Amino acid sequence: MASLDYDEVTAFLGEWGPFQLGVFLLLSLSIVPNGYAGMAMVFLADTPDFHCRSPQANTSACAQPENGSSAPCVDGWEYSTERYHNTIVTEWDLVCGDAWKVPFTLSIFFVGVLSGSFISGELSDRFGRKTVLFATMATQLVCSLLQVVSVNWEMFIVFFCLTGFGQNSNYMAAFVLGSELLGKNLRLAFSVLGVCVFYAVGYALLPLFAYYLRSWRILLTALSLPALLYIPLWWFIPESPRWLLSKGRVQEAEDIIRAAARKNGITPPEVIFKDSELIKSESESGVSYTYMDLIRTQKMRSLTLLNSVVWFTTTISYFGLCLSTPNMNGDPYLNSLFSALTEVAAYVLTWLLIKVVPRRALITGPLLSGGLVLLLIPAVPPDYGSVTVALAMVGKLGVTAAFSVLYISTAEQFPTVVRGMGMGICSMCSKIGSTISPFFPYFGHYDQVLPYVLMGVLTVIAGLLSILMPETRDIPLPEALSQVQSLNWCCGWCRNRRRADKSHEVLATKM
């Protein structure tokens, strides 16, 4: 007799009660620091106006002296303090020949994020979701504080990389823990209104802190210390009963469910989990799947490649637009705040539409419209800076809305047997894109509209490619490789191959 499904066994808890409300809010709150961890570089590493202290050197920033007889700025640089008391740029002279270190610093952060995407899943599966969540939050806090006392740029970037590792790991641990603790009808709300909106709230807090704290060390300290408030959450956020069951720790899982029932005012059954095999591992099913299964058949190859490319290009546009706020006309603090509020609007709009509008339309439409809007920016006269900002925010709205749906759609496209690996590959491509993205705003120092042109082209390409994605709304999740949908090809050649692909997929599921 087959074991009951976990959701069926725990259905007596109800969908929405004090227990679920507490988990939803506390895990969402744990996401807030992730919203400003990397984006803080917009203010920490901004470059104010500067000129050479040496009277013999050309004062137009990085130009060589006309006679060429001596090195420029032998007496160092002088920086404007009109907007900032200091930044890492002014402290370590990251200008002219060293200006490349500014975008490289943020790329190093995303290298840490990329490392976290590789390791966090394995750590979470081995040590538990709750343990990894709090351990990596502590890592992020300690490394941020060590950045504050950095004595040179090299020390700063080493601990920034480790901060990125902690940030991605605790983000993913919180997402997985919430998905496993909440009922299936609440998981969509948690992924959009919980994780995404609270991330944007953290992003919105950044310009408010930065406006009043104009020294980079004080700002970074103020952004780091709130993590101490999360220590008491250890006693309020439970471990995942699903994970405990997978480790054979049935009694601990039952204790958590019984505590949840008490919070909800419900009397649980005398025995909740009748056997310890409620959650079966893939190894017990007799079939072992590897990353090779993502490319073994034509359907899976196409699906994996398509999603990887769309994730890669969309991430470049998203982070590129977030990091471009200092280069926009107007006040950088207001621009950053508008950028964050645009994200909140995008997530709320997505939540309102996702239950009635096809997934593909919510990805393709915003990407194409957002990309086309960005391509209009070069046509805006220089005197209309507010129009440029408005167009950039509209583009950001489209990219953000599409990205939030892309995460859900991709999870629904991959079959259960390789879903984790498929999402891992897409996440890896996304992190590679985020590593490249800081150099796009950097191009704005040479041509202010060039970053928008490049991001607009990439966004349009991502939108056109997303047309090929199979629709997943109101369609049962695929469980086996043979249940994967074909891409939305327009050519007859691909349709003629479906019969051959089907036979290959049937063989793959039996291997």
CATH class of the domain whose range is 1-53+76-277: mainly alpha
Q: Yes or no: say if 352 and 186 are a contact pair by the CB < 8 Å rule.
A: no
**Can you give the pLDDT at residue 222?**
93
Rg (CA), the chain: 25
Q: What is the pLDDT along the chain (511 residues), one digit of tens a residue?
A: 334 466 777 778 777 888 888 888 998 888 888 888 878 888 898 888 887 876 655 555 565 444 353 346 777 788 888 888 989 999 898 888 888 888 888 888 888 888 877 777 667 777 888 888 898 889 889 999 999 999 999 999 999 999 988 887 787 778 778 877 887 678 778 877 888 888 888 989 999 999 999 999 999 999 999 888 888 888 888 888 877 877 778 788 888 888 888 888 887 777 777 654 454 443 344 556 677 777 788 888 888 899 999 999 999 988 888 877 766 677 888 888 888 888 888 888 888 888 888 989 999 999 999 999 989 988 888 777 788 888 888 998 899 899 888 877 887 787 766 766 777 788 788 888 888 888 887 776 677 788 888 889 999 999 999 999 888 777 766 767 777 777 776 543 344 444 444 444 444 444 4
Q: How many whole angstroms from its chain centre is CA 234?
A: 24
Among candidates 78, 30, 416, which has minimal Cα distance to 199? 30
Estimate the share of the chain in helix, then strand, then coil, as percent rounded to the nearest 5: 70, 0, 30
For the chain, what is the largest distance between any 2 Cα atoms, rounded to a whole number of angstroms?
90
**Can you give the pLDDT at residue 288?**
67
User: Which residues have C-beta within 8 Å of that of residue 322, sequence separation ≥ 6?
Assistant: 39, 42, 203, 339, 396
Q: Which amino acid is at 372?
A: L
All structural domains of the chain with their residue ranges? 1-53+76-277, 293-510
At 475, list the tokens. Answer: 């369609």
**Can you give the pLDDT at residue 121?**
66
Helix (H, G, I), strand (E, B) or coil at 505: helix
Measured at the CA of 134, the angle between CA 33 and CA 210, to 5 degrees, comes to: 15
Among candidates 284, 313, 240, 336, which has minimal Cα distance to 6? 240
**Can you give the pLDDT at residue 277?**
47
**Can you give the pLDDT at residue 431?**
83
Q: How many whole angstroms from its chain centre is CA 12?
A: 34
CATH class of the domain whose range is 293-510: mainly alpha
Domains 1-53+76-277 and 293-510 share a fold: yes
Crossing angle of helices 385-413 and 419-436, rounded to 10°: 160
What's the Cα-to-Cα distance from 399 to each of 347, 386, 438, rounded to whole Å?
11, 20, 17
